[in-house]
Amino acid sequence: MNRLARLARLGLTLGTTAALVIGMTSSAEAATGSIRYFRFTGEEARIDNPPDNVCINLRFRARTLSNETNKWVSYFYNANCTNFLNNLAPGRAVSYANPLSVRVIG
């Protein structure tokens, strides 16, 4: 009986470890490409290969926001991804929404 209990615990441990590794791998993905944004003065900033599901505060309020990644991006009026404005498809841009934070949503 002791041997059977050890095998069961070993199987449970291995299964849990595999699930954690797979879960961690999928959450560490990143979009390929850049999110570019421009201040009203024309100053440009960019975020290269942004991670999925991570809120990113922009350095300044963006007059124009361009999603040049392979994934959808949510953009927010305030910092810390609060006050949701809209989603931006890959290859699209938006002007005059004035976002201050973004999140890649896949």
* Cβ-based neighbour number of residue 56 at 10 Å: 16
User: Which pLDDT does position 42 carry in this prediction?
Assistant: 95
Q: What is the pTM of this model?
A: 0.73
pLDDT averages per 10-residue partition of the chain, 106 residues: 60 50 55 97 97 98 98 98 98 98 95
